Amino acid sequence: MTTFAEVLAAQLRRDPGRPLVTFYDHATDERVELSVTTYANWVAKASGLLTDVADLERGMSLRIDLPPHWLSTVFLGAAWTVGLRVTTSDEPAAVVCGPEGLATWAPLAGDVPVLACSLRPLGVRFAEPLPPAVHDVGVEIWGQPDGFTAWDPPTDDDPATDTLTQRELWSPRDDRTAAVGSSLTDGGRLLSVADPASPPGTATFTEPLGRGGSLVLVRNPDPDRLDAVHDAERATARA
């Protein structure tokens, strides 16, 4: 299994109902849990959004400017499904951002597709109107199909990030694809406060997915509550 699509398909065959991403926000007390099936559904819709709305194609780049959030993992999966390179460049082919990124990216929306996530519970729309030409993910994603098949599927040699190909992303012996400080084993649950959409944090999502495990992601972590989350979610490792 050397592409994201192959890895996710294998997990869907293995145990589609198990939790894959469990998200906490200690600032709002929000908790969201995505099973493998639910995650795959979101990835399909987000893939449709990237191709149909943002007009992206295999080989292009996507900047995911989001904080630690379950939608970060969704758009990572969507990017790799389409065959996009997730980049940290300030000149990407398209951008996915949260409310805090609007000041930076909205002025460029006339030239670069800008997809904005409200980060409100359940991925709903922004409460206030967005700047001109900015797409509200919470509105437009719901019109996308629940299934997605890339017309030009990426191969294992396609860039997945600025430094890794899809093959390298899933290489079990590559230290670059292991979460720093993690002792995660196959089927384990990784507790993390890192941003999956940032290069240092990407492995906190890819390692659990590749190992048939799951991610427990905490935004705005309260240090006094992390141990309780670890125990409640039966986490087996931290990163």
For the cut 80, the answer to whether the pLDDT of residue 132 exceeds it is yes
pLDDT the model gives residue 54:
97
pLDDT the model gives residue 182:
63
Tokens of 42: 């979101």
Strand order in the sheet with 189-192: 30-35, 19-25, 214-219, 189-192, 237-238
- Name the nearest CA neighbour of 77 among 48, 32, 49, 47: 47
Each residue's pLDDT tens digit, 72-110: 999 999 999 999 999 999 999 999 999 999 999 999 999
Interacting residues of 138 by C-beta distance below 8 A, sequence separation 6+: 117, 118, 120, 123, 124, 125, 126
Mean of the per-residue pLDDT values of the chain: 94
pLDDT the model gives residue 48:
97
pTM confidence score: 0.96
**Band of pLDDT at residue 183, cut at 50, 70 and 90:** confident
Tokens of 95: 């951008």
Would you say 81 and 51 are in contact if contact means Cβ atoms under 8 Å apart? no
Give the Cα-Cα-Cα angle 185, 47, 111 (nearest 5 degrees).
125
Partner residues linked to 237 by β-bridges: 190
Average pLDDT over residues 211-231: 97
Q: How many whole angstroms separate alpha carbon 195 and alpha carbon 204? A: 8
Q: Label each residue of 74-115 as H, E or C.
A: HHHHHHHHHCCEECCCCCCCEEEECHHHHHHHHHHCCCCCEE
- 177: DSSP letter: G
pLDDT the model gives residue 176:
58
The three-state secondary structure class of 10 is helix
**Band of pLDDT at residue 173, cut at 50, 70 and 90:** low
For the cut 80, the answer to whether the pLDDT of residue 172 exceeds it is no
Quick one: what percent of the chain has pLDDT higher than 90?
90
- Tell me which amino acid residue 116 is: A
Q: How many whole angstroms separate alpha carbon 85 and alpha carbon 159? A: 5
Which domains can be identified in the chain, with CATH numbers?
Answer: 4-238 (3.40.50.12780)
**Band of pLDDT at residue 177, cut at 50, 70 and 90:** low
For the cut 80, the answer to whether the pLDDT of residue 56 exceeds it is yes
For the cut 60, the answer to whether the pLDDT of residue 181 exceeds it is no
pLDDT the model gives residue 120:
94
